[in-house]
Amino acid sequence: MAVLDGVRSYLFVPASDPRRVDKALASEAHAVVLDLEDAVAPEAKDEARAVVAEKLRTRRARGIQLVRTNGLETPHGRPDFAALDGLAVDAIMIPKAEPQPLLALGPSGPPVIALIETARGLRRAHEVATRIPRVVALMLGNVDLAAELGATPGPDGRELLFARSALVVDSIAAGLGGPIDGPCTAIDDDDALRTEAVAAKALGFAAKVCIHPRQLAIVHDVFTPTDEELAWARRVVDAAGAAKGRGAIAVDGQMVDAPVVARARRLLAS
């Protein structure tokens, strides 16, 4: 999980577009994801792999770089993995993640982010997170999942509230920490993006996907702990240290016990 520490934004870019790849890699994104799957037409897959091989010879000066491959069970999956051999790839994102296909992954190689975007994958997300040793994070594929469920996206996101909450529970229960929320597709609507990001953070998500560089600033602003949050966490940790194991204590007029202290420590470490 260390490779993803402090990563709050995942900027997707079609791997078939060298100019956009260069711009993404030079952006403020904490993580850039070169997409070999949905963003690349079948006839352009080989060209996209060649771009990945050229652009990911070395690591970014700041931030990390990932590749979203095609599914392991598809005709494009194995060529994708073969193309990544020897490249400076910090992690791999695998779509439509379910336990059985992911069991084909070897024990060595880059860490894996499992993209949960089917109803069956959602039901088995905890299994994915615990049975596949290379999986270090779960991500919600909200667009594909909503389409499969026949859910109509609304301004408050309630159509996927259960899915988001379930994924947070499964991710944290598996010891992976908060998962990654999928993208806001309203590229030019800053209010919609902020609303989505705030709601996701409140549920326990730790980061969010961006599909345009203009979304990065808002995502960073929402998911970066505020000065007030950090000050609260320091007061909680300091009070817990002074209490010397006496159990529940009061901070700012609120009861604080061990789980709250643990949350404060995680916040300071983020």
pLDDT of residue 245: 66
pLDDT of residue 198: 96
Nearest to 213 by CA among 13, 34, 64, 15: 13
Q: Of 232 and 117, which is predicted with more confidence? A: 117
Nearest to 65 by CA among 76, 78, 54: 54
- Cβ neighbour number for residue 40 with a 10 Å cutoff: 23
- Is 24 in contact with 45 (CB distance < 8 Å)? no
Distance between CA 252 and CA 80 in Å, rounded?
Answer: 53
Distance between CA 13 and CA 265 in Å, rounded?
Answer: 34
Query: Domains in the chain, please, with CATH?
Result: 2-224 (3.20.20.60), 228-269 (no CATH)
- Is 93 in contact with 68 (CB distance < 8 Å)? yes
Distance between CA 170 and CA 175 in Å, rounded?
Answer: 9
Q: Check whether 270 has a pLDDT greater than 80.
A: no
- Taking only the tens place, the pLDDT of each residue in 118-162 is 999 999 999 999 999 999 999 999 999 999 999 988 777 889 999
pTM: 0.89
23, 88, 234, 236, 262 from 241: Cα distances, Å: 46, 42, 10, 9, 12
- Going by DSSP bridges, is the β-strand pair 254-256/249-251 parallel, antiparallel, or unpaired? antiparallel
Q: Which two tokens stand for residue 98?
A: 């379910």
Nearest to 134 by CA among 97, 167, 172, 183: 97
